[in-house]
A and B are shown apart, each in its own frame.
Chain A
């Protein structure tokens, strides 16, 4: 892609987000759903496939371009991005990273166009970032595999057409070994999706349990074919590195919105004879939030460039996700503080974003998991095992 094209893609997305999605935020919050016309418009624009290569019907943005686009998507309710986030992100990337050429050709175009919504089903009650407790199993039965288990908090599960299911295929193997990724279509007998989870925030973004009871899939459902057996966890980890930078960029977009909301309020709210922005203690809050925003944005841009040239695909993504998610948490907290009593009221955007932002420090690896990833890799590089 040419830089000029990328600029236009970003400009088109920016207008769409600000003209169409921002005005719909209150409705999305109230109805816990993305209006169908917004979904259609997003699919028509190509938002379901910006990270999928052009040869498979997507846009093929590299990480540096993707983060610029995601800065724009982050400017509104995270539920909007979540609608197509799994297609471009963790679920679509399972195919990009692990699938055979045939599988890519068959399924990526469906995902890039938004015809299919894909979900990433790794997390379980006792397994998430740490796969040791992964209990979902798949056993061979002739030419088929039989999958059993329960997945939890699966984003987009209520509307997904296809699930990337991670299951243990070698019961004797430990940790991340012996895990295989399967592509399971929604109508597979034995697959059921639980009721929508009732969450703190991010209304309109749906998660649910996915239950697999003797779900039979053909050998061709193994992502990566016969060579993919036992390699699912390695694939998942590569997807998560990309996903972490993506989430970090999303945090930057939301931090920008929160700074804009904070400045607008501080510049207009009158208290004690002048606008509250003239008070130095409020100025301190604004300055700290602007500084967090700049630092997070610069970090994400730098980490994306290092991810693209291959020089850092592990420590950088975790540092970016860790810092940007913590930063947007601080910025959201200050935004509520600047709004005073109004910031605690339902219906005020910063109150909603404060709840929305809380998830960023938790999903796609908690802050504590990021710390572990960062420190372990540093020590591994220093020869410590």
Chain B
């Protein structure tokens, strides 16, 4: 199995996220950056499939130079090699532009399986799996809480999470699978894995190397633009209702005023 898993470096989950005032893109400089937590589940699933069926796991990311730290993390968990698409011109790419760039890179790797996570904790679009499948012309199996691969039959089936249970969905390989965090427990990088990570092959590609047209990516190629943004207002202190026999009525009146009932 030739497995590609996509990862993204994001501002620390617990950090206050801000937009850069100059171009209204996510400010990645003023905070600690980590591997998107959800992507750890994707990497874990890729490693488990590789351990069961053999093959190779390739990590693919698009992001600034610093995103190499996130690649290292995936390599230290056990992935075999990585491709890092990095270029100033990619800065500000929206989901459509990002999916076009990633699809271009992934198609050169001819994978049997592409694994993404359900969303990144910064933009929270949750559409990359679907976009990649569309761009690559492959079946998409998203929201997977369990993945079963049958390389002999050239098939992959997943339990797709639904509101009141799950749906069993099947596709032929190659396919794009998006996993949810219920699927596994990501391993912690082992000490040997950490030491081995630096010696694993890492291919760095510029936009030109990847054959991307500069006008189609980055802020220039984005189809959506952030026009304005306001910081979330500070939380107001709550309203305290004293129960003097009419507590229930007061709470109901409050909820009605908020149009909640």
Contact = CB atoms under 8 A, between A and B. Distances in A.
Interface string B182-205: 000001111110110010000000
Contacts of A15: 188
Contacts of B187: 41, 44
Contacts of B192: 46, 59
Nearest to A8: B194
A5 B195 contact: yes
A59 B194 CA distance: 11
A141 B191 CA distance: 44
Interface string B71-83: 0100010000000
Q: Among B187, B194, B195, B198, which residue has the most Cβ atoms of chain A within 10 A?
A: B194
A245 B72 CA distance: 32
Contacts of A50: 191
Contacts of A9: 191, 194
Nearest to A46: B191
B195 A12 contact: no
Contacts, number: 35
B interface SS class: helix
A357 B65 CA distance: 45
A8 B76 contact: yes
B176 to A, nearest CB: 29
Interface in A103-162: none
Interface string B163-194: 00000000000000000000000011111101
A44 B51 CA distance: 15
Interface in A3-51: 5, 8-9, 12-13, 15-16, 41, 44-47, 50
B190 A44 contact: yes
Contacts of B198: 5
A8 B198 CA distance: 12
Interface string B38-82: 000000000000000000000000000000000010001000000
A1 interface: yes
A36 to B, nearest CB: 15
Q: Among B72, B76, B190, which residue has the most Cβ atoms of chain A within 10 A?
A: B190
A172 B198 CA distance: 56
B184 to A, nearest CB: 13
Contact of A59 (B72, B76, B188, B191): B191
A45 B76 contact: no
A126 B189 CA distance: 45
A290 B192 CA distance: 35
Nearest to A20: B188
A8 B189 contact: yes
A8 B190 CA distance: 10
Nearest to B77: A12
Contact of B194 (A12, A16, A41, A47): A12
B134 to A, nearest CB: 35
Given A1-B195, A5-B195, A8-B76, A46 B190 contact: yes
A13 B190 CA distance: 9
Interface string A55-89: 00001000000000000000000000000000000
A89 to B, nearest CB: 17
Interface in B134-164: none
A283 B24 CA distance: 44
A231 to B, nearest CB: 32
A13 B198 CA distance: 19
A16 B188 contact: yes
Nearest to B187: A44
A383 to B, nearest CB: 46
A41 B186 CA distance: 11
Interface in B71-130: 72, 76
A46 B176 CA distance: 33
Contacts of A13: 188
Contact of A41 (B72, B76, B188, B191): B188
Closest 3 pairs between A and B when the two form their complex, measured CB to CB: A46-B191, A16-B188, A12-B189
Interface of B: 72, 76, 187-192, 194-195, 198
22 contacts: A5-B194, A5-B195, A8-B72, A8-B76, A8-B189, A9-B191, A9-B194, A12-B76, A12-B188, A12-B190, A12-B191, A12-B194, A16-B188, A41-B187, A44-B187, A44-B190, A45-B188, A45-B189, A45-B191, A46-B190, A46-B191, A59-B191
Given A5-B198, A8-B194, A59-B191, 8 more contacts: A9-B194, A12-B76, A12-B190, A41-B187, A41-B188, A45-B189, A46-B190, A47-B191
